[in-house]
Amino acid sequence: MRTISKKRQKRLIRNLLIAMVCIIAVLVGVIGYVYFRNKGNAYDLSYAYRISSSLTGSGASASAADQSGSFADGFAKKLCVSDADVDLGNIQLQSSKERGLLFDLDSGEAKFARGVYDRLYPASITKIMTAILCVKNGNLDQEVTMTDADVNLGSDSQLSGMAAGDTATLRQLFSALLVYSANDCAMAIARTIGDGSVDKFVDMMNEEAKSLGMTGTHFMNPHGLPDDNHYTTPYDVYLMLNEAAKYSEITDVMKNSIYKLTVTDQTGASKAFNLDATDKYLSGDHVLPDGVTIMAGKTGTTDAAGNCLALAVQNRYGIPYIAIIMNAPNKQILYADMDTLLTQTNA
């Protein structure tokens, strides 16, 4: 039998070790690239969806169907799971009626929870679902003419100021819906997406809620005005806002402090409405805690629902959170308690 010299053995061993080192280096490089690419961008709520669009070649004009593809699913794969109540040290909400949560989206940890599965009236937080269906099913450049049914919702209803016969694009209605929480815009969107039927749109809302696992939710309208059978839970609001964060059209609008709605009336004349954000953090009426950035959110207020606020934020380190408070007795307590939760994101 032919033997291998010791010199050749050493050479083979050295070459084998070099090859192993090279393989390990390549593996470390690939793993590091994937980790840091995702880690560095994980806190941009729409990152995965922009990547999805770029890979499919659809760019900025990607459709809702493209944005809800396999890459888009990544944001929702790491859903937070929570007990009904989770203490946050000695920190408590001021009112016993309030319900809420603080979820760390990076770790999936529930930092705080109080009654997150209790059924509550959502008020205009409902409009998050209206916005989701608008983006998923609508052509935002479509022109819509307002009707009497859209604008005649009662004197105490939040309305944009438009009149029956005014014409705007679905994108304009969508923006007024999210910034100013305009109920007339919610009705016009629902009628348009529902092929002329608000009832059909409400059925779509409930189907979408079911698909998101919102088992404690039932919708009766697209705007959130009180109805005994219109309810949700703080946890379901988290699921809904988590879904909304997939769409840059939604998150881009939700961060605006004001929206100028310019429409055309029946005579062809143009008229404009300056609509301030209902979120006091965005409007500047309440100072956001230091080191916190709002990525998306929605307010809601009725006598039945109390004062509600759902926010997707990131802390000074870029870590994303969702914070929700519902049924606060007044806005002062709502924002004070939200300050408390948001401050914990940097603790």
Give the pairing type, strands 306-314 and 320-328: antiparallel
For residue 33, pLDDT over 80 is answered with no
Higher confidence at residue 20 or residue 326? 326
State the pLDDT confidence band at 347, using cuts at 50, 70 and 90: confident
CA–CA separation, 144 vs 149, rounded Å? Answer: 13
Q: Look at residue 52 in the predicted model and tell me its pLDDT.
A: 29
State the pLDDT confidence band at 11, using cuts at 50, 70 and 90: low
For residue 37, pLDDT over 70 is answered with no
For residue 5, pLDDT over 80 is answered with no
Q: What is the mean pLDDT of the chain?
A: 84
Span 284-307, pLDDT tens digits: 999 999 999 999 999 999 999 999
Higher confidence at residue 336 or residue 14? 336
For residue 17, pLDDT over 50 is answered with yes
Span 97-107, pLDDT tens digits: 999 999 999 89
For residue 213, pLDDT over 50 is answered with yes
Alpha helices in the chain (DSSP H): 6-41, 47-56, 64-67, 73-77, 127-137, 148-151, 170-179, 183-193, 198-211, 234-244, 248-254, 280-283, 331-344
CA–CA separation, 36 vs 44, rounded Å? Answer: 14
DSSP 8-class letter at 124: G
Span 48-64, pLDDT tens digits: 333 223 322 223 223 33
**Beta partners for 300?**
308
Span 249-298, pLDDT tens digits: 999 999 999 999 999 999 999 999 999 999 999 999 999 999 999 999 99
Q: Look at residue 78 in the predicted model and tell me its pLDDT.
A: 75
> 73-77, 192-196, 213-217: which range is least confident on average?
73-77
Q: Look at residue 47 in the predicted model and tell me its pLDDT.
A: 36
Tell me the CATH number for domain 78-344. 3.40.710.10
Is-contact 323 102, C-beta < 8 A? yes
CA–CA separation, 56 vs 26, rounded Å? Answer: 27
Higher confidence at residue 66 or residue 85? 85
Task: State how far Cα 217 lies from the chain centre.
Answer: 17
For residue 67, pLDDT over 90 is answered with no
- What is the biggest distance separating any 2 CA atoms in the chain, rounded to whole angstroms? 103
Q: Look at residue 88 in the predicted model and tell me its pLDDT.
A: 87
Q: Look at residue 7 in the predicted model and tell me its pLDDT.
A: 60
State the pLDDT confidence band at 3, using cuts at 50, 70 and 90: low
Q: Look at residue 62 in the predicted model and tell me its pLDDT.
A: 32
Residue spans of the domains in the chain: they are 8-41, 42-77, 78-344
Span 105-154, pLDDT tens digits: 989 999 999 999 999 999 999 999 999 999 999 999 999 999 999 999 88
